[in-house]
């Protein structure tokens, strides 16, 4: 999930020519980047909004407070009513994710979101490919869908200047199709890769400073930044071809307010949105932004099947209810898996998921989120047969969400 800690201490075959392009894109991304973290957090107990920023050129301190950089156009082109499909690096290898992403676009999904991990949450998930390379390859196999991570951590494993360069490069390859979701990380990624896992306040300060640097570099203007955690002296010679929406993840009340202040939009879960929508809106307004014009992405777990199918999927996502209630501080996926199995019965894991073969149940769940103010619903299924989910949504669900009901003969019986 694209969440953050709720503890507040003191995520078709190509022609030969297209394959050559794909190799070139992969080489370019590998040369200019090395990866990012995954579904992490913006939030927790609050540091003051101005506490992390430091001297970036051209008045960046004030810019950081409102989530903008001098000269950077506001990226607001993510429209309302979008349905995204989650490509989980934890559960599937990259070549399969690329195939699934292309299939999701053909099925009618508007966006392709990826997790961004060094390790999976649980050892039994068995995979953890590099998200930026996936995005580069995926762009070669798709034509219109938005793409980006939910979420990347720009603070420890990777320097924010490298994050800025990587996503500017992706924008050059696929202009108008790239978004960037950011959060403050998990120990299974940051500590495992670097040996570092600072206290919450430092992780938050690093995130705000990283956002400032990324926005400044995306302007293409020279940057002289010497902050509490990062020093940058230079510029991006190839800034983004088009504005890149920068969404921040949050799942607690203070984090929601901070995400509203510093992001172009929000990444969260259904329960957090329901409980703390007002805090996010308050933060956005305090920074001079209109919440109604900002994208809100909510990740929704689904199962196209019955309770047995839900249990199979939940075994791989057993950690979800406590992901950011302690498990994010554990660097070992095997330990997270053991604790989740001991502490979280499977019905508790999938209790809030949409589990049904009735298209109406899935349509209703999506429309309920839209009615609450969510603009992007990110469909995440932990089922092994992802193609089954994509075909069901493409034929039965997405047309109904958009007001074009599928023929009645296609409808499955409800469970």
Catalytic residue among 105, 165, 186, 279: 186
Catalytic residue among 4, 11, 105, 117: 117
C-alpha–C-alpha distance, residues 131 and 78, integer Å: 21
> Is 186 a known active-site residue?
yes
> Is 117 a known active-site residue?
yes
* Active-site amino acid positions: 117, 186
């Amino acid at each position: 999930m694209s969440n953050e800690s709720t503890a507040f201490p003191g995520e078709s075959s190509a022609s030969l020519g297209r394959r050559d392009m794909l190799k070139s894109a992969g080489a370019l991304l590998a040369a200019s980047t090395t990866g990012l973290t995954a579904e992490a957090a913006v939030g927790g107990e609050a540091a003051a909004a101005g506490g992390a920023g430091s001297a970036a050129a051209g008045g960046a301190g004030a810019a950081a407070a409102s989530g903008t950089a001098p000269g950077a156009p506001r990226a607001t082109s993510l429209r309302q009513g979008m349905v995204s499909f989650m490509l989980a690096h934890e559960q599937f290898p990259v070549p399969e994710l690329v195939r699934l992403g292309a299939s999701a676009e053909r099925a009618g999904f508007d966006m392709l979101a990826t997790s961004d991990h060094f390790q999976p949450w649980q050892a039994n998930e068995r995979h953890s490919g590099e998200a930026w390379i996936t995005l580069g390859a995926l762009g070669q196999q798709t034509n219109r869908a938005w793409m980006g991570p939910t979420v990347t951590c720009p603070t420890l494993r990777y320097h924010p200047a490298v994050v800025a360069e990587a996503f500017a490069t992706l924008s050059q390859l696929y202009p108008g199709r790239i978004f960037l979701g950011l959060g403050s990380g998990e120990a299974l990624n940051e500590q495992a890769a670097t040996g570092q896992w600072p206290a919450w306040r430092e992780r938050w300060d690093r995130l705000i400073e990283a956002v400032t640097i990324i926005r400044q570099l995306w302007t293409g203007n020279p940057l002289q930044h010497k902050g509490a955690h990062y020093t940058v002296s230079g510029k991006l010679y190839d800034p983004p071809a088009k504005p890149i929406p920068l969404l921040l993840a949050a799942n607690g009340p203070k984090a929601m307010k901070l995400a509203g202040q510093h992001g172009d939009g929000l990444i969260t879960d259904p329960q957090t949105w329901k409980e703390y929508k007002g805090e996010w809106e308050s933060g956005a307004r305090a920074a001079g932004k209109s919440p109604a014009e900002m994208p809100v992405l909510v990740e929704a777990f689904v199962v196209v099947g019955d309770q047995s199918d839900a249990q199979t999927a939940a075994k791989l996502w057993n950690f979800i209810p406590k992901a950011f209630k302690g498990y994010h501080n554990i660097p070992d996926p095997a330990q997270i898996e053991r604790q989740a199995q001991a502490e979280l019965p499977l019905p508790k894991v999938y209790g809030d998921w949409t589990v049904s073969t009735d298209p109406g149940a899935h349509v209703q769940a999506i429309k309920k989120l839209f009615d609450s103010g969510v603009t992007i619903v990110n469909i995440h299924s932990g089922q092994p047969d992802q193609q089954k989910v994509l075909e069901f949504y493409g034929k039965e669900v997405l047309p109904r969400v958009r007001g074009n009901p599928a023929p009645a003969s296609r409808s499955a019986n409800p469970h």
